[in-house]
Amino acid sequence: MFVFSLLSVILLCALNQSCGQFQRKNEDCFCGLKGNIEDCECEVDTLDDFNNVKIYPRLRSLLVKDYFRYFKVNLKKKCPFWEDDSKCSMRYCSVQSCQKDDVPIGIKGEVKKEEFFGPFLSESGSMCRNVKKPISSCVPNQCQCQNVGHTTVPKENECGRSNNLDYLNTTLSAKIVKDMELWTAHDYAQENFCIIDENDDESEYVDLLLNPERYTGYKGKSAERVWKSIYTENCFQARSWEKPSIFKLDNMCLEERVFYRTISGLHASINIHLCANYLLSDPNKPSLIQPTGEWGMNLEEFERRFLPSSTNGQGLNWLRNLYFLYLVELRAIEKAAPLLEREAFYTGNEKEDWDTKMAVNDLLKVIKQFPSHFDESVMFMGGTDKKNLKREFRDHFRNVSRIMDCVGCDKCKLWGKLQTQGLGTALKILFSIENGKVENFKLQRNEIVSLLNAFGRLSNSIYKLDDFREMQKK
């Protein structure tokens, strides 16, 4: 009887230990990544299916098109916040810029002036008002322009009147035209949620396909200082830095929560990219077979960055913020659809331009069918305080884009600037287009490229996240 009891106790202890191990293992997984996405009316599983089946395959084929693969960026800007000469120690940090002949002529802007300015340019390059069509297409009885000294006046026969004293000069000098361009650029920049540097003298075109986002070994104090600055110096209330989990969302208003979740979601997405495209071979011993290194998915690194046990229980929250950011950018693209549907996606290659336009329209058609878009209309509602909050929101995110110039790894800086510019473009769309009126709203080419590529990075993250979860199960 004693032996039987002892065996029972031993079996019971073994069973309890086994159950405890199973319970700990079950808790230390990604099983909790499900259910409703906070501040949205959408479920994780619904978004997984929508992205992995409908969005990801379309973006994967779209973003290799010439219009979207060339991004103009200034990687030589100095950090505006601190002196930092830290550099990534691995050769995989470098970025290969394009040669002039590599970039399609349409992207470089090598097209006729009339295609840019349409009816507003005379043959000399001056601006002439009241001209319905470009000069090359003018017909008799339709007003043309000719230069007289420093002014532009109508031709006598074609305008139906002579150059007499009652003529009202409605032309603009070259200096005024230049000033107007500067005024327009200044007004345009006021709407931006990020710093766009494509027109800088040091900006260069980069082929994103030749410089993929992946693990470069950039880490340590320099990388930590960048994220610390993003999380703390750009928050609406001063908070001490320990981990991103120090932020108490319950104490934030909706606008503050949205700001934090977009930054946290971007951080999570970048971490997934690095784990999914991780350097698996010895960086100091490249083989003849794989001289550029062996890259692939690193489950151990992914678990270190996201498992509850290694993130003080915050890993799943960071991943949920990825889904939230996905919904924010998805809604921005849906809202900008009328603009994107009119875009020519011009590169100079007629066939590819047509294919690109059809692919974008197909993507937009699918996005419009999504039933649970993020609702930005509930933000910044109210009086003066809310308007000030909107301005503060925009200024904070501009600082985030400035901080990208402090990244000490060129490849990390490239993709950081692209993704923050894409998110900034999405925020600009959400909070600048009111009541669906897009007539006076414009997007530059670099904004369109960054918007779709940034969304493509989020789509890729959710797709790879599913792969990591399957790897863990096995």
| Residues that are catalytic | 409, 412
CA distance 394 to 199: 21
Question: Which H helix or E strand runs over 70?
Answer: strand 70-73
- For residue 227, say whether it is annotated as part of any ligand binding site: yes
CA distance 70 to 205: 6
Instruction: Find out whether 394 and 193 touch, Cβ atoms under 8 Å.
Output: yes
- For residue 129, say whether it is annotated as part of any ligand binding site: no
Could you tell me which of 301, 280, 289 has the C-alpha nearest to residue 92? 280
Paired tokens of 237: 């209330």
- For residue 342, say whether it is annotated as part of any ligand binding site: no
Paired tokens of 309: 């046990």
Report the half-sphere exposure of 395 (CA within 13 A, side-chain side).
Answer: 9
Report the half-sphere exposure of 149 (CA within 13 A, side-chain side).
Answer: 4
- Cα 340 vs. chain centroid, distance in angstroms? 16
- For residue 305, say whether it is annotated as part of any ligand binding site: yes
Neighbours of 343 (CB within 10 A): 15
CA distance 17 to 325: 40
Task: Compute the Cα dihedral for 292, 293, 297, 301 and give only its sign.
Answer: negative
> What size, in residues, is the chain?
474
Could you tell me which of 406, 382, 386 has the C-alpha nearest to residue 394? 386
> Can you tell me whether residue 72 is helix, strand or coil?
strand
- For residue 216, say whether it is annotated as part of any ligand binding site: yes
Paired tokens of 117: 């300015």
CA distance 402 to 21: 47
Name the one residue in this structure whose structure tokens are 């002014």.
151
Could you tell me which of 456, 445, 450, 462 has the C-alpha nearest to residue 414? 450
User: What DSSP string describes 267-294?
Assistant: HHHHHHHHHHTEE-S-TTS--SS-TT--
> Can you tell me whether residue 382 is helix, strand or coil?
coil
Beta strands per DSSP E along 280-411: 295-296
Q: Which amino acid, 51?
A: N
Instruction: Find out whether 333 and 451 touch, Cβ atoms under 8 Å.
Output: yes
Residue ranges of the annotated binding site for FAD are 214, 216, 227, 264, 267, 305
Residue ranges of the annotated binding site are 214, 216, 227, 264, 267, 305
